[in-house]
Amino acid sequence: MTTDEPRISIGDVSGSTFAIGDHAHAESHHGTTAPRDAAAEELLRAVRELRADLARVRADEGTARLDAALADTEDEITRTGQATPSRRERLRGLLADSQALLGVLASAATLAGLVGL
C-alpha cells in the first residue's frame, strides 16, 4: 500500500520554536529577558546590592529568610520585568523585621526606601 503523503521527520527540537497546521503561528522568546522600566532596574540593583552585603554579615534565620526573598525578587524581576505588589510587601515585612540591618547596611536602607518602608 503506497500513499502520496509526504514523509515528515522531526529530530531534536529542544530550544526550537515551530508551529504545525493551517494558520499556525510560532513566536520565539528563547534567551530574551523581559523589558524593565527605570524603577524596576533601580529595584533590581538595590536587591542585588543588599544580597551582596548580606553575604558579609553573620547569617541567622532572619537574614536567611531575607536573602531567600531577595533571590525570589531578583528572579521575578529578571523573568517578568517587575516585582509584584505582593513581592514588595513581603520585602517590606522582612526589612521591618530586620531593623538592625537598616542601620548598618546602606543597601538595606536603600531597598527599604524603594519598597515604601
Per-position pLDDT tens, the chain of length 117: 566 777 777 767 666 676 777 777 766 655 666 788 999 999 999 999 999 999 988 888 989 999 999 999 999 999 999 999 999 999 999 998 888 787 778 888 889 899 988
pTM above 0.75, yes or no: no
Q: What's the rounded Cα separation, in Å, for the pair 1 and 27?
A: 38
CA R_g for the chain: 22
For the record, the C-alpha cell of 87 comes out as 513581592
For the record, the C-alpha cell of 20 comes out as 504545525
For the record, the C-alpha cell of 13 comes out as 527540537
The length of the chain, given as a count of residues: 117
